[in-house]
Structure 1
């Protein structure tokens, strides 16, 4: 496999580690984030490269052969959080992605991105270009919690496959978990308690950089006002509870804004999956990132677990760089479910060739 826009390697982990899928060998990974590439090398080997995908393609630099190319072109151009989506150059980075698919000789490709991609004009453009390269395309919006991740993260997943493989394609993957109360016999979604309930309160505020093992379960040094704000939010509460319980320490902009998102400055629930973990999970003003009952934001270790990374996965970089890697990652459980589909497609080709 080749992993493009590889980040820390959540997709590679899901495909190569038998705890999730297994059976794939990572031969090349590319990303333009130096710290993410360092993490990728630490966990998967020295074949990860830091570089710009457009420059790599336009310069004609070598591309290794592969059976499958996976990747998540940067999602900010599609995200509803990006108020200037039109004209964002990041929307078009699927084009060099597919150029590498063609040059690698891959039989299958996987593109993972935000849910909004599925209904965007770019999806139609991706499908049209892939068709011109001899691929058929299938696409679904998948919920990470349906595949064992303790997080309600919804992502568009596009699978392209050479037309002669169509009979082997079964997509989306069969779910392994389901929402509580669903009319099926699947285990219920994994919860925040399942993921982080065994962790003690964090000790200290520092992290040892570029040394193994990294201790990601560290605290912060909140201001006195921030500490009071944390305490004013009850279990399952949010910024509206802060406004009701402690208006004197509520930011004026929140008081003026009487409607809007209910996750800001919210507490996670013990017995539900996490909300989507983003790159600034350590800032509760960015979302529902307060610990369920301790008066603090979640730690980097807790965020990594809520993404599905095992504790033996080692991250490289600063606090902010590691947070970005975690928030941008593909949950390995979701990646593993996709990997199983791809493996079935490729196994069918091998059987046919035999």
Structure 2
């Protein structure tokens, strides 16, 4: 099996990653054998984790202001060029927007900017990852117009079906100037990865503590009532298992019946829930550790997002900030999804390369 470094040396594809964040998609593309030249993001906090873990340059820039010439200069070799990215999807974030539907035109400026850069740069290959609702929104039809001249395929991928240890549905689009074949992502031949597989080996920590050797392996404190609640919870269970005195006010209302996973523990032998930007909070979803009386740590959340256990988010001596790092981890593209995208694109390129040689 080729190492990541040897794959990069023989890569037929080079990439620029728009909206790169802390590098989930970049890292996955690199693991899958694509040479990522640069990642672009407006958030300066992403610079250290992006560059500390990836052989690519971080460029702090608003994609809305990014010129095609700037992007073209980032491609340095003779390989096929891939423009990749996951435009932030706030219009569909029911957690942060209180379930608000629709959205202003400004909500979609980043998707529109992505389409503009495709039209102006004309890369050989394109991939976009986003929320499943993307294909139902009018902005997607505009995006498709920017892909005129490309062969385009898209689908909604259940990430647990490709080896991500969480239930996370994502819209994935692949586009190519080479041809239509080989642009679909297979989901039938991957082994399911469970919470136990992913984080079962990590050392124990208590609520309110961080592991001495890893400041990312830190869990927030629990209030006295929440400690009682998690002690009364079983893996895969709900708050309905508790004594009524432990139930929160929201559980007493009829609408509370629609949130059975809140304050829940994960199950060892199932994939975890979708990692959100507030996945470190016990009361924010099924984010209780299967066994220990605490919410999952930031490191566990990152590993469930398939970041390597040694992925560096903090400088030496820096302390973890739950809300900041939770946002960066929850918004990231799972590394494994990026790796699978890379494998599909490399196979697609090899298919058409073989045909050209045969002809």
| Shorter-chain TM-score tier | 0.7 to 0.9
Q: Is the 1:284–1:290 contact (alpha carbons within 8 Å) kept by the matching residues of 2?
A: yes
CA distance in 2, matches of 1:174, 1:235: 27
Match of 1:199 among 172, 194, 202: 202
Q: Is the 1:207–1:319 contact (alpha carbons within 8 Å) kept by the matching residues of 2?
A: no
Partner of 1:3: 17
CA distance in 2, matches of 1:104, 1:302: 38
CA distance in 1, matches of 2:292, 2:214: 23
CA distance in 2, matches of 1:72, 1:239: 35
Q: Deviations over 1:104-143 (max 9, x none)?
A: 4411111101111122222222212322xx2232110011
- Structure 1 stretches lacking a partner, 5+ long: 178-186
SS at match of 1:2: strand
Once the two structures are overlaid, the 10-residue window that deviates more, 106-115 or 44-53, is 44-53
Q: Deviations over 1:141-183 (max 9, x none)?
A: 0111111111111100011222xx2244341235333xxxxxx
SS at match of 1:137: strand
In structure 2, relative to structure 1, the CA distance for the partners of 1:200 and 1:262 (3 Å cut) is same
Q: Is the 2:17–2:39 contact (alpha carbons within 8 Å) kept by the matching residues of 1?
A: yes
SS at match of 2:172: strand
Q: CA deviation at 1:288?
A: 0.5
In structure 2, relative to structure 1, the CA distance for the partners of 1:333 and 1:311 (3 Å cut) is same
Asked whether 1:121 is paired with 2:138, we answer: yes
CA distance in 2, matches of 1:111, 1:207: 36
TM-score (norm 2): 0.83
CA distance in 1, matches of 2:157, 2:227: 37
Match of 2:44 among 29, 34, 44: 34
TM-score (norm 1): 0.85
Q: Is the 1:5–1:71 contact (alpha carbons within 8 Å) kept by the matching residues of 2?
A: yes
**Superposition CA RMSD, Å:** 2.4
Q: Is the 2:166–2:304 contact (alpha carbons within 8 Å) kept by the matching residues of 1?
A: yes
Asked whether 1:137 is paired with 2:155, we answer: no
In structure 2, relative to structure 1, the CA distance for the partners of 1:102 and 1:351 (3 Å cut) is farther
- Structure 2 stretches lacking a partner, 5+ long: 1-14, 315-319
Q: CA deviation at 1:34?
A: 1.7
Once the two structures are overlaid, the 10-residue window that deviates more, 4-13 or 214-223, is 214-223
Partner of 1:49: 59
Aligned residues: 328
In structure 2, relative to structure 1, the CA distance for the partners of 1:75 and 1:231 (3 Å cut) is same
Q: Is the 1:138–1:160 contact (alpha carbons within 8 Å) kept by the matching residues of 2?
A: yes
In structure 2, relative to structure 1, the CA distance for the partners of 1:283 and 1:174 (3 Å cut) is closer
